[in-house]
Amino acid sequence: MPPLSIAFPPVGFGPGSQPADSEDGLSYLPMPSGMRTYEPHLPEVEDKERLAPAFTALERVLDALNRWVPGSHDSVSISGFDAANRALVDEALGEGEVAVRVTGGGSPLEIQEATFAGVWRVRGADGVDRIEVGAFPRGALLRAFPSHWDIDRTNISLPRPGVVNAPPILAEIAHRTTARLPGTPAHVINFSLLPHTPEDLALIDETLGQGGLTILSRGYGNCRIEAAARRDVWRVRFYNSTDALILDTLEITDLPEVACAAPEDIADSAERLTEVLEAMR
């Protein structure tokens, strides 16, 4: 075997051995970008006497934030406010990252998280107009699922074209939801990692049904959460800033953690709302 020449480096090493930027190489998934950050906004108030109801409501919200402990919930009604007082409340609270639509169990509700985590603006067509303080609006969660929805095991066992892994996945969901107790840690099924076909997903969606609650979180990219008709079952999808699906999961839990305001964020909301009210006065 001839000795290795030192005049020429081995193939695969040195300048020119790797593909240039314009050549085909590793293709990386685009990462999320454009995270929203809090920017304080201080409404200008000229007639404080006329807008006293708005100040009272905001002070009640602040009191609820200061008293909040995990699991607690409070509500402040502003249904009787005139346009000026309602506008001041909305301007002071602003709009945060989480929006909720409730369609189950009665008249639709539109819910918007304020820029203060744990503060939720709730509006409904039947005169509902209030502010809720808590990790997530309790009234919305109560209307997320129909009273009863079974998984038809006979239906899912029937052979269908293109269906491969849906039956065992649905059997797992049926077992987990039947045996589950409130407060049990979330069980996650990651469709992004499991082999499946479009027909599998179609059968899973058909069998689990559609609940009455949809949540959109716009933080680092987008997250869409939809309640199934089967209690405690949530479809959770994450998208990057170009709206490409980057994570597709199903969670069996009381409520996906990503939809809830964290305790430390609620404590921070109390501090920031205190500063806003002091500046407004």
pLDDT band at 42, cuts 50/70/90?
A: low
Spatial CA neighbour of 62 closest among 125, 131, 123, 9:
131
Q: Which of 32-41, 79-88, 104-113, 241-250 has the lowest mean pLDDT?
A: 32-41
Which tens digit of pLDDT belongs to each residue from 249-268?
999 999 999 999 999 999 99
**pLDDT given at position 17:** 47
The whole-angstrom separation of Cα 192 and Cα 3 is 50
Residue 26 has pLDDT above 80, yes or no: no
Whole-number average pLDDT of the chain: 86
Strands ordered across the beta sheet of 233-239: 74-77, 129-133, 119-124, 109-113, 98-102, 213-219, 221-227, 233-239, 245-252, 187-190
Q: Which of 58-62, 102-106, 204-208, 269-273 has the lowest mean pLDDT?
A: 102-106
pTM over 0.75: yes
The whole-angstrom separation of Cα 22 and Cα 231 is 51
Which tens digit of pLDDT belongs to each residue from 150-188?
888 777 777 889 999 999 999 999 999 998 999 999 999
**pLDDT given at position 201:** 95
Residue 63 has pLDDT above 50, yes or no: yes
pLDDT band at 246, cuts 50/70/90?
A: very high
Q: Which residues pair with 13 in a beta bridge?
A: none
The Cα angle at residue 131 between residues 125 and 132, in degrees rounded to 5: 110
Residue 265: both structure tokens together: 């964020």
